[in-house]
Structure 1
Amino acid sequence: MANAQLASFKIPVVDNEPMRAYAMESGDRKNLQAAVAKMESQLPFDIPCIIDGQEVRTGNTLPQVLPHDHKRNLANAHSATPELLAKAIESSVKAQKAWEDMPWADKAAIFLKAADLIAGKYRFELMAATMLGQGKNAWQAEIDAAAEMADFFRFGVKYVEELFQIQPPRNTPGTWNRTEYRPLEGFVLAVTPFNFTAIGGNLVFAPAIMGNVCIWKPSPAAVYANFLTHKIMLEAGLPPSVIQFTPGNPPEIVKQCIDHRDFAGLHFTGSTHIFKKLWKDIAQNLDIYKGYPRIVGETGGKNFHLYHPSADVKSGVMQAIRAGFEYQGQKCSALSRCYVPKSKWTEFERILKEEVKKITVGPPTEWQHFVGPVIGRPAFEKITGMITKGKEAGGEIITGGTWDDSKGFYVQPTVILTKDPKSVTMTEEIFGPVITVYVYDDAEEGAWEKTCQLIDTTTEYALTGAVFSADRTELIKASNYLRNSAGNFYLNDKCTGAVVGQQPFGGARASGTNDKSGSMSIFYRFASARSIKENFGSVEDFAYPSNSV
């Protein structure tokens, strides 16, 4: 029996979660240090599958290695068996009707409470898990696991409230038109990445808040933080079958899900190669599905900074260092290629070398380090291999270019100077602390326009980019040339750091479907609208006046 709806509720006013500074001797730093120390004393954690809210251990475990100390594991996660996954899918599909029927205000309350738990009770525990398991320093963990995830939930609830209010603007006399936003028929598979705890939470939250049920396939390299996030959702009151937590072998779990008749959607963040493969696999299965599955994905980037001769050089260098080396360049939005005018290069290079020398690299548990470890051995080998390829292609290493995996997976912040704007490190995604610089001859006629065209045609990606100039005319010119080169475009600011509620995030071309997480747009993708027309009158004759003679 449906619940009575006795009012149209308004959610509380939402705002971005204030970010804490963790200054020396502050209470926040002491609390975070205590959470890290406690977690280190308890590892490795044993992570079960969570099926219908119950812990299930299969005995077949995958390790989550500490990237700063790879001989130790943060956690060991039990892999979902095919039988367990089948049960999870069946239970979630059965639970969908009750979840869909739950009043909107109650769904909203669950996730608003989850946001408060993230920002309060579990803040330091989530941050500690993100620091130890994913190699983030305190500030990177703060803006991710605490602030951004709380923002995703709070603003997401606000956006869905606003979406539900979008109704047909016209009603002919004697009729009432209205629209309802139904969930998809079946389950949504969320495949989440290692690099942002908040993205893990958001990829299941966005479908769930629309009334969908989800199978959550977490990254093995972020499984503990994702497990805590799921625990928080259950504590906030999420019905246990709405989101099923199923760690395990990615290809096997994903294949079983997309081969299922009730598969209704994919919410994905990861590599471009994998996303394209999944799209093709889903297309091959179209005849088995009830409808056309929704495919929502954000993948890679080859993000750029373009500097005009009028740009503030020192500020531009600082922005490049932050954009390229924060979290070891392991952000989808991280700076990878720089275009610097020849007339400013001597000054730019001098400041860049001076500032990069100040960067220390080390464990995230040591507060002074700006750069920590990369996530694991495959990433380490890819990044160092790309640096070697860059040198072999004629690139000059002007900073960094060294690495050490004796204890943790450390790569020194590296800047490569190239004379070939289409060299391997200018075109292929690296996902590590590596920036390649191309110096363009700004004395050449049309150099600014030609460099914009070069940026636009060099790679298949179009995620983020930034232009630095004190000349408004040149900013406008670059913005027009680069309109399709980045889904998130910055003027005199670095190409990383999109904030929920301020800069909706996503890119096009090979970078994804550009559905803009952190905005209303993403929620449309997990809804199937129904238009309803109600007639208050009666029809006495089938004929129209035009039929009269």
Structure 2
Amino acid sequence: MSLGTFSYPLPVNEPVLSYAPGSPEKKRLKSVLAELKKQKIDVPMYIGAEEVRTGKKIAMRPPHETKHILGYFHMGDAAHVEKAIDAALKAKASWAAMPWEDRAGIFLKAADLIATKYRPYMNGTTMLGQSKNAYQAEIDSACEIIDFLKFNVHYLSEIYKQQPISGPGMHNRLEFRPLEGFVLAVTPFNFTAIGGNLPTSAAMCGNVVVWKPANTQVYSAQMFMRIMKEAGLPDGVINLVYVEGPVLGDVCFKHRDFAGVHFTGSTGVFNKMWEVIGKNMGQYRSYPRIVGETGGKDFVMVHPSADPDVVATALLRGAFEFQGQKCSAASRAYIPSNLADAVKKKLVAGVKSFKMGTVENFTNFINAVIDEKSFDKIKSYIDKAAKDKKAKIVVGGKCDKKTGYFVQPTVIETTDPHYVTMCEEIFGPVLTIYIYPEQSFEQTLELVDATSPYALTGSIISTDRAAIVLATEKLRNAAGNFYINDKPTGAVVGQQPFGGARASGTNDKAGSILNLYRWLSPRTIKETFTPPTDYRYPFLNEI
């Protein structure tokens, strides 16, 4: 029972540490990386109060050093999904009844634990498990996840404050209940912060969660789960399981108490989820919430007035940071003919200057792609482009998986604006550029809008304000996150709520108040102080 109204003011974004030479954070992170590599951890599933080990062990290996084993996780099956649902539903009543200030305290404590004691461990497990360099790990597995936790506490406190007006002789109030049932969170390999946010944003609202991370993200996911438990998260509120996707879906989407799914992953998988949920609607206690952020084919549109240095920097960072394995990564660029030679020259020089290798060497800008399946897919696009008359490799193109899954950042130039690498999501360090006639800027905007089914991120680079205004208008529905004179990546919680529409998802904007509404079910309560005792209204009388 709350005995006061408690304040959770708007936080500031977590400062990004620099890891500059000689800095204490760099020294500490290197020490933790060495510590983690010396261990072979045994990772259980976390179901209710149990640490579940099945004996079916899957090795976790750094993508950049595939001979090394970081440890093993225990693979589960349908019975473990059922057990996780049961544990969640058992915990539901007490968790939903816990006063908001006590729930909030758990997530704020977790944020502080990550900011301090566990910062190098969150970053270290992300670097080793997902092959992120120190800076990419810092902005993801430290800063963004801290921001998600703190900002969501603030946003939810603002939601709880929203109340209706009351007329004479009555009082109206609005309560924001958790959903009736359990929420399924399915998270991808590429962002540890997404792995933390999808289950906790729903749980923060009083829901109970079954969480399945990608197998290639288990190493950092288990670290986050351990932190949440240390922060005081009750058993069963979030249940962490490792199972095959179809097994998970077969159990969860047939369950009467399935209340919603919070998903980040491929468009194809999300479409299948939606189809199965639709077919099973008659089985559910209520209409499930379906929230998903899926694919992208993100663009950079360059105006003839643009500065070639700005263009090249936006493309080199936007396309190749974290090996292009971001939903928001720049993967198609439209360059005007008057700037083409200058931009290409700078792209070639930039790619050739990149150092590529392990994450332990902090001078490496590029590391490995996530696994062999991804490596083979990316390589197939590059190999086809090298042989196609409609395309040529401007720079890069080398692929090597002898010691790790290394794909050299690659720039493809095509004469066909509908060439396959301009249209299909590759999810790797591959940028395709199309050179358009400099006088055809407006027509090219229409091409940008119509080329891809996705609408996640995009940018316009120009020094001409009228061109910026025109692009912003013409590309209104082409991107849920639109950038002016910047790369189309790097959304910050509280600053650029993230999400796209069309084939890129439901645009429920992770990192904003909008997302939290999806995990709440409002109830209006009207209390009448002096109830009427006669059904008759005055209008019934003639005198």
Q: TM-score, normalised by structure 2?
A: 0.98
Residue in 1 that maps onto 2:424: 428
Q: Does 1:512 align with 2:505?
A: yes
2 CA distance for matches of 1:194 and 1:128?
Answer: 15
Residue in 2 that maps onto 1:366: 361
Local SS of the residue matching 1:432: coil
Residue in 2 that maps onto 1:481: 474
1 CA distance for matches of 2:378 and 2:293?
Answer: 21
2:55 maps to a residue whose letter is G
Q: Does 1:405 align with 2:401?
A: yes
Residue in 1 that maps onto 2:54: 58
Contact 1:77 1:248 in 2 (8 A): no
1:425 maps to a residue whose letter is T
Match of 1:533 among 511, 526, 532: 526
Residue in 1 that maps onto 2:217: 222
- Runs of 4+ in structure 1 off by over 3 angstroms are none
Q: Superposition pairs for residues 144-163 of structure 1, below 5 Å? A: 144-163=140-159
2 CA distance for matches of 1:280 and 1:56?
Answer: 32
Residue in 2 that maps onto 1:140: 136
Q: Superposition pairs for residues 490-505 of structure 1, below 5 Å? A: 490-505=483-498
Residue in 1 that maps onto 2:110: 114
1 CA distance for matches of 2:360 and 2:9?
Answer: 36
Residue in 1 that maps onto 2:329: 334
Give the direction of change, closer, same or farther, for the CA distance of 1:350–1:81 in structure 2 (3 Å limit): closer
Structure 1: 5+ residue stretches without partners: none
Residue in 2 that maps onto 1:127: 123
Match of 2:93 among 94, 97, 108: 97
Q: Superposition pairs for residues 161-172 of structure 1, below 5 Å? A: 161-168=157-164, 170-172=165-167
1:327-363 Cα distance to aligned partner (Å, 9 max, x none): 0000010000000100111111111111221111111
Number of aligned residues: 541
Q: Does 1:285 align with 2:253?
A: no
Q: 180-189 vs 170-179, which deviates more? A: 170-179
Q: Superposition pairs for residues 234-383 of structure 1, below 5 Å? A: 234-383=229-378
The alpha carbon displacement at 1:85 in A equals 2.3
1:433-466 Cα distance to aligned partner (Å, 9 max, x none): 00000011013xxx12111110100010000000
Q: Does 1:5 align with 2:2?
A: yes
Match of 1:74 among 52, 70, 76: 70
1:195-241 Cα distance to aligned partner (Å, 9 max, x none): 01110000101100000000011110010110110111111011011
2 CA distance for matches of 1:469 and 1:33?
Answer: 41
Contact 2:321 2:365 in 1 (8 A): yes
1:180-206 Cα distance to aligned partner (Å, 9 max, x none): 111011100101110011100001011
2:152 maps to a residue whose letter is G
1:485-513 Cα distance to aligned partner (Å, 9 max, x none): 00000001110000001000000000000
Residue in 2 that maps onto 1:49: 45
User: Could you say what the CA RMSD is over the residues aligned between the two structures, in angstroms?
Assistant: 1.1
Local SS of the residue matching 2:215: coil
1 CA distance for matches of 2:395 and 2:5?
Answer: 59
Structure 2: 5+ residue stretches without partners: none
Match of 2:385 among 383, 387, 390: 390
The alpha carbon displacement at 1:13 in A equals 5.0
The alpha carbon displacement at 1:253 in A equals 2.0
Contact 1:58 1:81 in 2 (8 A): no
Q: Does 1:179 align with 2:144?
A: no
1 CA distance for matches of 2:303 and 2:538?
Answer: 68
Local SS of the residue matching 1:343: coil
Q: Does 1:28 align with 2:25?
A: yes
1:394-439 Cα distance to aligned partner (Å, 9 max, x none): 2110010111001100000000000100000000000000000001
Contact 2:44 2:74 in 1 (8 A): yes
The alpha carbon displacement at 1:548 in A equals 2.7
1:67-88 Cα distance to aligned partner (Å, 9 max, x none): 0111233232112233232222
Residue in 2 that maps onto 1:231: 226
The alpha carbon displacement at 1:20 in A equals 0.3
Q: 484-493 vs 50-59, which deviates more? A: 50-59
1 CA distance for matches of 2:57 and 2:257?
Answer: 28
